[in-house]
Amino acid sequence: MRALQSHVTTIGTLVAGIVLVGIVPFAVAPFTLADLTLYAAMAILAMSLGFIWGFGGILSFGQSVFFGVGGYTYAIVALNFDSPSLALLAAIAVAVTGALLLGYFIFWGRLSDVYLAVITLTISLIFFMLMNSMSSSIYRIGDVPIGGYNGIPGIPPLVVPGTDRSLSVAETYVLVVTVALLVYLGLSWLIRTKFGRILCSIKENEVRAELLGYDARLYKLAAFAVGAAIAGMAGALFAVYSGLINPDVFGIGFSAQIIVWVMLGGLGTLIGPALGAVLIQMLVVWLGKVQVIDANMALGVLFIVAVLLVPAGLVPRLQGLLAVAFGNLARSRP
Amino acid sequence: MTVLLETSRLIRRYGGVTAVDGVDFTLNEGELRCLIGPNGAGKSTFFKMLCGLVPPSSGAIKIRNDDVTGMRPHEIASRGVGIKTQVPSLFDGLTVRESVEVAAMRRLTPSAACDIADETLGHLNLKGIANRIVGQLSHGQRQWTELAMVLSTDPKIVLLDEPVAGMTHDEVNRTEDLLKHINTTRTVIVVEHDMQFVKRIATKVTVFHHGRILIEDDVDRVLADSRVRDVYLGKSGLRYA
């Protein structure tokens, strides 16, 4: 059954890859491709939370922190050293280091899930306040001013390896979508490994897992770090896409929005959070264009409706309907 | 005989209440020991200290002369202690097979764990429910699933807290056979209230009362002891009825 799931995941991702990478760049306008790049970056971020929350039981409001730290690190390193590739690696490394430090205090401190959520939310707010307050020109790292509420503009795009040529809009889109597909495949593989299966069991019952001989703290810390690495990378790709990073990425609205993506798409799946992120981002972009209702208010209403109508999320609901339609269709996760 | 497990002056206090009060306990390799006593006697707290769920207030716990006092559950489990808890502690969202495989994976590769899971499920007659979600099982099936998980870790000492609670007559008989079989290769401690069951499986019994060991002897002598009858039925026992 696991082998079948693995094949379905790989083939499905391959088909999606052919369509998204091989057809879409030639079929849509550059402006739409830029929007799709944003959706893909947000889908990566959503999968990072979908992984640690849905498979590790770690409800973190702090994914936005790792996302923001990744974005800021990319900007600072890329502008200081003129090396976008190095900046991308630095973004991941700094996010992972932060996660290891924070995770150590959380998991070794035996904080309950509620405290974990509160602490990660508090940290995102601290970052929000801190970055906003650094508007003076004295706050700089190397040659790059932090910029306070204005953030850091003029972030350089990624370049073709071995050359100085910047990636075009279409190439950036292909890169970000490819990364999203690889993250999906990688996490799907990780969940099926020994590590992933033990992590899932810890989510189910941490005490039992400990009684069987597993150090739950270590597994959760590792999962937290993986989630942070992916969120940091998503932040760097977002910075590449937008050319600007500002403290809004640490805001409570954005932190909560990531939770909504995962819940709407379906906790306990990987495709669900990615789908949730894309759908909500599309909605936000559309609402911004039509100017009928405030986007945050619309998201609030959508969240309440979704919780009432599809409490398990869209993808698990769809899986349930398919199972009914096709008889005893195997539970497919992720 | 080799001493496998030893506690000395083990104490656990909860605020002003002393649940376990200076217990000196010795268990030899290959034994099947029953712990009995009225509710509140300190048996479950004693069990929880043995597997690391509750740290002792003072005293020491040694496994094969290795001091494990205050160690975390995973450290004690990796020294060969497996526990089936009073209320089954399971992975409700996984299937029975997945649960047993995860348990076996602590010491084995996933493919080897799969083989051990097959073997254990067959041994415990659980193959028929192997693909069912644990959260949907009956109480008896949950008890056996937990036992399968514990056994698949290949523990040297098996702690069983009320293994036949809520089981049917047939299931109790099967459990009796299973415990005797487990005891051929492992040391077993059983906390149990069912005296008939205790009489059928144990040779040596330890009676807890007020957090202390009241008496420790052969099963027939313990069950004939007037102090034990008093604890369960008589003078002081009425307080715990």
Of A197, A205, A211, the CB nearest to B51: A211
Render pLDDT for B127-158 as a digit per residue (tens, 0 to 9). 999 999 999 998 888 999 999 999 999 999 99
Q: Which residues of B fall within a CB distance of 8 Å from A197?
A: 98, 101-102, 105, 110
Of B77, B92, B106, the CB nearest to A204: B92
Give domain status of residue A310, yes or no. no
Provide the 10 A C-beta neighbour count for residue A29: 9
Residue A326 has pLDDT above 80, yes or no: no
Alpha-carbon dihedral B94, B96, B97, B103, rounded to 10 degrees? 80
Largest distance between two CA atoms of chain B: 57
Distances (CA, A) of A251 to A10, B102, B148: 36, 39, 48
Distance separating alpha carbons of residues B11 and B29, to the nearest angstrom: 24
Distance separating alpha carbons of residues B156 and B164, to the nearest angstrom: 21
Of A70-84, A252-266, B31-45, B165-179, the range with the lowest mean pLDDT is B165-179
Within this chain, do residues B122 and B210 fall inside the same structural domain, yes or no? no
Q: How sure is the predictor about A325, in pLDDT bands with cuts at 50, 70 and 90?
A: confident
Residue type, B70: G
Domain boundary among B154, B179, B200: B154
Contact B56, B11 (CB under 8 A): yes
Domain holding A115, by residue range, is: 2-251
Within this chain, do residues B12 and B72 fall inside the same structural domain, yes or no? yes
At residue A314's C-alpha, the angle toward residues A312 and A320, to 5°, is 70
Chain A, chain B: beta-carbon pairs less than 8 Å apart:
68
The B-side interface with A (CB below 8 A) comprises 51-53, 72-74, 77-78, 82-83, 85, 89-94, 98-99, 101-103, 105-107, 109-110, 149, 153
Provide the H-helix boundaries in chain A. Answer: 2-17, 24-27, 30-54, 63-81, 84-108, 113-132, 169-192, 194-204, 206-211, 216-242, 252-265, 271-290, 295-309, 314-325
Q: How many domains does the structure of chain B reveal?
A: 2
Give domain status of residue A177, yes or no. yes
pLDDT given at position B241:
34
Give domain status of residue A292, yes or no. no
Give domain status of residue A290, yes or no. no
> Which stretch of DSSP H or E encloses residue B205?
strand B204-209
Within this chain, do residues B143 and B162 fall inside the same structural domain, yes or no? no
Q: Which residues of B fall within a CB distance of 8 Å from A209?
A: 91, 102
Q: CATH number of the domain at B76, please.
A: 3.40.50.300
Query: Which of B92, B86, B91 lies closest to B102, judged by CA?
Result: B91
Which residues, listed in sequence order, are joined to residue B62 by a DSSP beta bridge? B6, B67
Q: Which residues of B fall within a CB distance of 8 Å from A194?
A: 105, 109-110
Q: Which residues of B fall within a CB distance of 8 Å from A214?
A: 74, 106
Within this chain, do residues B52 and B120 fall inside the same structural domain, yes or no? no
Distance separating alpha carbons of residues A165 and A171, to the nearest angstrom: 11
Within this chain, do residues B196 and B136 fall inside the same structural domain, yes or no? no
pLDDT given at position A319:
83
Q: Which residues of A fall within a CB distance of 8 Å from B83?
A: 211
**Residue A193 burial (C-beta neighbours within 10 Å; 0-12, 13-18, 19+):** exposed
Of B73, B99, B107, the CB nearest to A211: B73
Domain boundary among B154, B181, B201: B154
What's chain B's length in residues?
Answer: 241
Q: How sure is the predictor about A226, in pLDDT bands with cuts at 50, 70 and 90?
A: very high
Residues 6+ apart with CB under 8 A from B65: B3, B6
Residue A330 has pLDDT above 60, yes or no: no
Give domain status of residue A330, yes or no. no
Residue A55 has pLDDT above 60, yes or no: yes
Within this chain, do residues B66 and B173 fall inside the same structural domain, yes or no? yes
Rounded mean pLDDT of A192-196?
96
- Across the interface, do B109 and A198 touch by the CB < 8 Å criterion? no
Query: Which of A225, A243, A234, A222 lies closest to A91, judged by CA?
Result: A234
Q: Which residues of B fall within a CB distance of 8 Å from A215?
A: 72, 74
Distance separating alpha carbons of residues A156 and A78, to the nearest angstrom: 7
Q: How many domains does the structure of chain A reveal?
A: 1
Of A36-45, A142-151, A160-169, B140-149, the range with the lowest mean pLDDT is A160-169
ipTM of the complex: 0.92
Rounded mean pLDDT of A316-320?
86
| Sheet with B58-63, edge to edge strand ranges | B17-28, B3-14, B58-63, B66-67
- DSSP, collapsed to helix, strand or coil, labels residue A97 as helix
Query: Which of B150, B72, B176, B154 lies closest to B107, judged by CA?
Result: B154
Within this chain, do residues B165 and B186 fall inside the same structural domain, yes or no? yes
Residue type, A249: V
Of A200, A201, A212, the CB nearest to B77: A212
Is the pLDDT higher at A99 or at B171? Answer: A99
Within this chain, do residues B144 and B92 fall inside the same structural domain, yes or no? yes
Contact B160, B188 (CB under 8 A): yes
Of B82, B83, B105, the CB nearest to A197: B105
Give domain status of residue A178, yes or no. yes
pLDDT given at position B238:
41
Per-residue tokens: B182:
């487990």
Per-residue tokens: B83:
């526990």
Within this chain, do residues B148 and B198 fall inside the same structural domain, yes or no? no
Owner of token pair 């080799």: B2
Mutation to test the B interface, candidates A211, A219, A220, A331, most B Cβ within 10 Å: A211
Give domain status of residue A125, yes or no. yes
Within this chain, do residues B41 and B75 fall inside the same structural domain, yes or no? yes
At residue A309's C-alpha, the angle toward residues A57 and A320, to 5°, is 70
Contact A96, A232 (CB under 8 A): yes
Rounded mean pLDDT of A121-139?
94
Within this chain, do residues B159 and B69 fall inside the same structural domain, yes or no? yes
Where chain B has pLDDT below 70, the residues are 233-241
Pairing of strands B81-84, B157-161: parallel
Provide the 10 A C-beta neighbour count for residue A334: 24
Domain holding B196, by residue range, is: 3-80+155-240
Within this chain, do residues B164 and B146 fall inside the same structural domain, yes or no? no
Residue A133 has pLDDT above 70, yes or no: yes
Domain boundary among B137, B154, B171: B154
